Structure 1
Amino acid sequence: MVDIAESNLLGSSPQFAHVIAQIRRIAKFDVTVLIGGETGTGKELGARAVHYLSARASRPFIAVNCGALADSLVESELFGHERGAFTDARQASPGLVSEAEGGTLFLDEIDTLSPKAQASLLRFLQDGTYRRVGGTQTRSTDVRLIAASNANLDELVKARQFRRDLLYRLKVMPLVMPPLRERGGDVVELAESFLTRLNRQYGAQTSSKRFDPSFLSALQRYSWPGNVRELEHFVQREYLMCEGALIQGGPPQDLAAPPVGAGDDAAFKQAKARAIADFERSYVASAMARARGNITQAARMAGQDRSAFSKLVSKYRLASVAGQEQDSGE
Structure 2
Amino acid sequence: MQPFELVTVKDVPEAIRAQAASETAQQGATVRFIAGGTNLVDYMKLNVETPRQLVDINGLPLNLIEPLPNGGLRIGALARNSEVANNKLVQERYPVLSQALLAGASTQLRNMATTAGNLLQKTRCMYYRDIAYGCNKRQPGTGCSAIDGQNRMLAILGTSEKCIASNPSDQNVALVALEAEIHITGPKGERTVPISRFYLLPGNAPERETLLDPGDLVTAITLPPVPTGAKSLYLKLRDRASYEFALASAAIVVKRQGTRIDHVRIALGGVGAVPWRSLEAEAALHGKEATAANFRAAAEAALRKAHPQTQNGFKIELAKRCLTHALTQAVA
Going by fraction, where is helix more abundant, 1 or 2?
1
Going by fraction, where is strand more abundant, 1 or 2?
2
What band does the TM-score fall into relative to the shorter chain?
Answer: under 0.3
Computing the radius of gyration over CA atoms, which structure comes out larger, 1 or 2? 1
User: What TM-score results when the alignment is normalised by the length of structure 2?
Assistant: 0.25
